[in-house]
C-alpha cells in the first residue's frame, strides 16, 4: 500500500539521518527539519497519504516529551522554582515579545498583526528544548528547573493570550474571551491541585506488574488530560507536564522506561511534520528579515535565560546553558502565525514566521553544545590571567653569584 511505502520511507530516512548525526556528533533535529522540507510541498515525494498521521504523531510527540520532563520534578520543586523565577518570566515577556511587535509595525502590518507577531517571537519551543535537555543529559542540572519554570510560565501566558487574540481576530465579543480565559486558568489550577494532592492515588491506579498494561494506562491518562487541556485553550503539553509531575515512586521510573521508544519515534515525527508545513518557495523573499529578527531575538532570549539563572544562584556555566537552551522557537509560533493569516492579516506574516522559526529551530539544538567549549575556554583564560609562579630552577644547578 502507498501508506506503508510513504511511512516506511520517512522512518527509514529518519533512521539514516539519526545515525549520520550520531556519527558526526551533532543533534539530529535540524536534519529531521530538513527532511520535512525535502518531503514537503514540491519535494522529493508527496506524503499526502500519511500527512494526517504525521500531524497527529507530531502532537503525541510533544506531549510525550513534556510528560517525560515532568517526571523529573515534584510539585514542591516546581512551586519553589516559580516563586524565584517569576521576575524572569516578566523579563522574558517584555524582551521577547517586543521585537515581534516592532518588526510588524515597521513592515506596516498594523497593530493587530503586531500583537500576533509578538506572540510568534515570544514563546520558545517546549518540544525542542525538552528533546535537547534529554539528549544532553542536563535534566539534573541546577539551572534546568529555572528553564522549565520559564517554559511553564510561557504556556500560562499563552492560556491568557490565545483566547483573547482568537476572539479579537474573529471579531467576537470580549466577554467570550474572558470566559475562555477563566476556563483556562481554572484548568491550570485544577491540574496543579491534582498533581500536588492526588499524585499518590494516580500512581496507585496506574501501577501494574505488566509493562503492557502500565503503558496503556499511562498513555491513556496522558492523552485524556492533554485533550481536556486543549478543550479549554491550554497547551496539551502543559497538561502532560502536570501528569508527569503527579507520578511518583516506581511507577514513574517504569513509565519513563516503557514510553521511551514511543517518545523518540513521535518526537521525530514532530520535527518532520514541522518541516512539512513550510513551502520552501515562500522563504527566500523574507529570509533577510527573518535572519535579522533571529539575531535580535537570540540576544534577547539568551539575556532572559542568563538573567533568570543568575537570579536563582546558578554559576557562569549554568547561566550560559540556560541562555542557550531557550533560543529555539517552534510549534506555538507557527500556530499563532496561522491564526493571523487565517484571519486575513498580511499573508507575508505566515512566510516570515515560518522562515524565522526554521532558522531558530535549526540553531536551537546546536547552540547548547557550545556551552562546554565556551566554559572550558573561560576557565583556561582565568587560570592564565592569575599571578604567575616564580620560575623553577633546575635541580642541582646553583644560580650564579651576582657581581658587584
The DSSP output letter for 15 is H
Q: Is position 53 within any domain?
A: no
- The pLDDT tens digits along the chain (404 residues) read 588 888 888 899 899 998 998 787 677 777 887 888 787 766 676 777 788 888 899 889 888 887 887 787 777 766 766 676 678 889 999 999 999 999 999 999 999 999 999 999 999 988 789 888 988 889 889 899 889 889 888 877 876 787 677 767 766 555 665 666 676 667 667 766 776 777 788 888 888 889 999 999 999 999 998 888 877 766 677 788 888 888 877 888 899 899 989 988 998 888 788 777 777 787 889 999 999 999 999 999 999 999 999 988 899 999 999 999 999 997 678 778 877 877 788 878 888 988 898 899 889 888 999 998 999 888 888 877 655 555 544 444 343 333 33
User: Has residue 8 been placed in a domain?
Assistant: no
Residue 47 lies in a domain: no
* Residue 364 resides in a domain: yes
The Cα 341–Cα 335 span in angstroms is: 10
- The reply to whether 300 falls in a domain is yes
Provide the residue range defining the domain that includes 151.
62-125+141-262+279-374
| Number of domains observed in the structure of the chain | 1
- Give the whole-angstrom CA distance, residue 53 versus residue 265: 13
Residue given cell 543533534 in the structure block: 27
Interacting residues of 393 by C-beta distance below 8 A, sequence separation 6+: 399
In a domain, 100, yes or no: yes
> How many angstroms separate the CA atoms of 262 and 268, rounded?
10
CATH of the domain at 68: 1.20.1530.20
* CA distances to 58, 69, 161 from 66, in Å: 13, 5, 21
Residue 333 lies in a domain: yes
Q: What is the 3-state secondary structure (H, E, C) of 285-343?
A: HHHHHHHHHHHHHHHHHHHHHHHHHHHCCCCHHHHHHHHHHCCCCCHHHHHHHHHHHHC
On whether the pTM is more than 0.75, the answer is no
Cα-Cα-Cα-Cα torsion 318, 319, 322, 325, nearest 10 degrees, comes to -100
Q: What is the DSSP letter of 50?
A: G
Q: Any residues with CB less than 8 A from the CB of 14 and at least 6 apart, and which?
A: 32, 35, 268, 272
Domain presence at residue 399? no
Amino acid at each position: 500500500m502507498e501508506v506503508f511505502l510513504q511511512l516506511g520511507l520517512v522512518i527509514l530516512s529518519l533512521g539514516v539521518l539519526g545515525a549520520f548525526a550520531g556519527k558526526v556528533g551533532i543533534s539530529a533535529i535540524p536534519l529531521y527539519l530538513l527532511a520535512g522540507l525535502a518531503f514537503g510541498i514540491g519535494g522529493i515525494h508527496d506524503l499526502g497519504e500519511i500527512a494526517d498521521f504525521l500531524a497527529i504523531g507530531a502532537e503525541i510527540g510533544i506531549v510525550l516529551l513534556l510528560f517525560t520532563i515532568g517526571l523529573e520534578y515534584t510539585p514542591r520543586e516546581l512551586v519553589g522554582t516559580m516563586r524565584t523565577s517569576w521576575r524572569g518570566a516578566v523579563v522574558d515577556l517584555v524582551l521577547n515579545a517586543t521585537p515581534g511587535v516592532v518588526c510588524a509595525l515597521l513592515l506596516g502590518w498594523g497593530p493587530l498583526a503586531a500583537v500576533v507577531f509578538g506572540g510568534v517571537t515570544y514563546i520558545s519551543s517546549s518540544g525542542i528544548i525538552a528533546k535537547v535537555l534529554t539528549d544532553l543529559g542536563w535534566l539534573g542540572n541546577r539551572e534546568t528547573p529555572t528553564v522549565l519554570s520559564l517554559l511553564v510560565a510561557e504556556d500560562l501566558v499563552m492560556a491568557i493570550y490565545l483566547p483573547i487574540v482568537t476572539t479579537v481576530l474573529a471579531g467576537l465579543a470580549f466577554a467570550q474571551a474572558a470566559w475562555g480565559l477563566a476556563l483556562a486558568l481554572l484548568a491550570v489550577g485544577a491540574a496543579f491541585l491534582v498533581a500536588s494532592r492526588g499524585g499518590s492515588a494516580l500512581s496507585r491506579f496506574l501501577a501494574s506488574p505488566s509493562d503492557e498494561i502500565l503503558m496503556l494506562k499511562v498513555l491513556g491518562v496522558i492523552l485524556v488530560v492533554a485533550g481536556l487541556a486543549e478543550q479549554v485553550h491550554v497547551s496539551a503539553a502543559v497538561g502532560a507536564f502536570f501528569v508527569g509531575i503527579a507520578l511518583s515512586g516506581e511507577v514513574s521510573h517504569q513509565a519513563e522506561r516503557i514510553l521511551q521508544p514511543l517518545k523518540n519515534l513521535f518526537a521525530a515525527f514532530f520535527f518532520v511534520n514541522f518541516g512539512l508545513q513550510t513551502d520552501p518557495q515562500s522563504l527566500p523573499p523574507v529570509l533577510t528579515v527573518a535572519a535579522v529578527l533571529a539575531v535580535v531575538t537570540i540576544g534577547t532570549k539568551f539575556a532572559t535565560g542568563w538573567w533568570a539563572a543568575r537570579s536563582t544562584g546558578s554559576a557562569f556555566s549554568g547561566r550560559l546553558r540556560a541562555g542557550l537552551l531557550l533560543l529555539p522557537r517552534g510549534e506555538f509560533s507557527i500556530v499563532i502565525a496561522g491564526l493571523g493569516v487565517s484571519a486575513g492579516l498580511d499573508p507575508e506574516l505566515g512566510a516570515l514566521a515560518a522562515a524565522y522559526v526554521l532558522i531558530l529551530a535549526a540553531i536551537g539544538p546546536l547552540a547548547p553544545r557550545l556551552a562546554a567549549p565556551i566554559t572550558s575556554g573561560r576557565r583556561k583564560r582565568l587560570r592564565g590571567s592569575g599571578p604567575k609562579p616564580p620560575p623553577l630552577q633546575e635541580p642541582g644547578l646553583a644560580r650564579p653569584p651576582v657581581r658587584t
